Amino acid sequence: MSRYAKLTTGLIGAWFVFSLGASALHLYTNGPNQPPLPMGLAAVTPIVIFLAWFFSSAEFRQFALSLSPRTLTILQSWRIEGFTLIALAAYGILPGLFALPAGWGDMAIGVTAPFVALALAAPGHRKSFIFWQILGITDLVTAVSLGVLASVLNPHGIGAGAMTVLPMSLIPTFEVPLFLILHIICIAQAVRWPDFAASLSSSQSWNAAAPNERASS
């Protein structure tokens, strides 16, 4: 497991450096009214690689599922930085159609992440935990979709070009796919948790039957 921990840490570090370097070289910028294909590839490729690795390697899957769901969830607290999107929209740098839903959604996930990590990351709250993780994924997918659609729906309005340059470019090319991967791992972990209600019912049935068994013996 330690081998995968070192390897994963190194890959995430290399991923961050690549995203930073590509942003510095303006590889994610695109012309007006053009789809952000370079940024889209940068966002989707890590997720595809993770899923392929997760489903093809039993050892890596075991490592990923052994990570602490509380730690993975509390890392989502970084999404409180969504307030920067709202601020940029207020100054007319980003379109409100994209920045406001994305910003408020990220802030909601970031603020609630510590509570979910400490109170819901347990079999007894499995459904609530999975529901929150799905909300987090929905926020990310919605933000990316609105970022692409903003320029299409209003081609003469404010574009999302600010998201293609540093430091904002790190959000769609590094943070968004990383946070989405963390959500996927947490859901995969929670799905494997025992059904708390069923185990509790079974335990209560056994406790109720135990006195009769002792009496008969």
In this predicted structure, the answer to whether residue 147 has a pLDDT above a threshold of 60 is yes
Q: What is the mean pLDDT of residues 68-94?
A: 97
In this predicted structure, the answer to whether residue 204 has a pLDDT above a threshold of 50 is no
Q: What is the mean pLDDT of residues 172-200?
A: 88
CA–chain centroid gap for 27, Å, is 24
Distance spanning both ends of the chain, measured CA to CA? 48
| DSSP symbol at 119 | I
Residue 159 has what pLDDT? Answer: 83
Residue 207 has what pLDDT? Answer: 47
Burial class (CB in 10 A: 0-12, 13-18, 19+), 101: middle
Burial class (CB in 10 A: 0-12, 13-18, 19+), 149: middle
Q: Which residue has better confidence, 143 or 202? A: 143
C-alpha distances out from residue 53 to 6, 57, 72, 189, Å: 16, 6, 19, 16
Q: What is the mean pLDDT of residues 97-119?
A: 97
Looking at 76-80, 112-116, 118-122, 203-207, which range is the least confident one? 203-207
Residue 23 has what pLDDT? Answer: 94
Residue 182 has what pLDDT? Answer: 98
The enclosing H or E element of 40 equals: helix 37-56
Give the residue among 159, 51, 182, 39 at the shortest CA–CA distance from 109.
182
CA distance 216 to 15: 66
